[in-house]
Structures are given as structure tokens and as C-alpha cells.
Amino acid sequence: MPGTAADSNPASNPIIRWEDAESVRTYLALLVKRLEPVRRSILLTLSRAGQVGLPTAELMSVHGIEMSDINSAVERVNIFAESFGYLPLIIGAGEGWRINSPDPGIVEAALAETERYQ
């Protein structure tokens, strides 16, 4: 169990959901702060797409990037998420991607908060 004496590493069993709570918003702000601009932009686009998400081809077109760039961004974001003990932030949705939260708008809020302090 994460955070116990037997296993103090939360990344070994990420279980925390991305819900709209103060502690979650804090970790989300830390996560997005570390990201490069194109990865932040992908997160913003997915956040605005809501629960439906977007096809990979549309993300590629909107951002002028290759599929490998999207895969790299998803991997990097999810590695950060899991290192904090959270479930992956970006998940597959059919032939595309979506934010893994009942309220994807928390991602946009975290991005806006981060931009304010840079």
C-alpha cells in the first residue's frame, strides 16, 4: 500500500484519482510546471476536449507534430503523474487520447496557474 512502512514509494502503486480537490490541484500544478511548452499545449487541447478526448490525427494536425511527439508527451506526463502516486493523467480513447479525470478542466486551471507565476 502506498505510503506505508512496507512500501513508502507512491509510484510503486499509483492509485490517486485526478479529482477536483485542493491537494490534487497542487500536484497537478507541480506536474505541468515541469513540462515543455508543446507538452503543456497538448494537455490544454485535451483538457478543452473534455471527456470525449481527441483523435491522435487531430492532435498532430492542431500542434503540427508527429505521432512520436504525442506518444512521448503522453509517456512523460504519465511518468510524472505516477511518480506522485496518481493514475495516468492521459489515457487512450479509441484512436486518440483524453484526460483521465471526471473534470478535465482542472488541467486547464493548473496550466493557467502555472503561467501566472512564470
38: exposed, middle or buried (C-beta count within 10 Å: 0-12, 13-18, 19+)?
A: middle
- The CATH number of the domain holding residue 87 is 1.10.10
Q: Residue 114 has what pLDDT? A: 83
13 inside domain: no
On whether the pTM is more than 0.95, the answer is no
Q: How many domains does the chain have?
A: 1
pLDDT at 102: 94
41 part of a folded domain:
yes
Domain membership flag for residue 8: no
1 found inside a domain: no
User: How many Å is the maximal CA-CA distance in the chain?
Assistant: 47
Which structural domain range is residue 89 located in? 18-116
Report yes or no on 98 lying in a domain. Answer: yes
108 found inside a domain: yes
Q: What is the pLDDT of residues 34-79, one digit of tens each?
A: 899 999 999 999 999 999 999 999 999 999 999 999 999 999 999 9
pLDDT at 1: 44
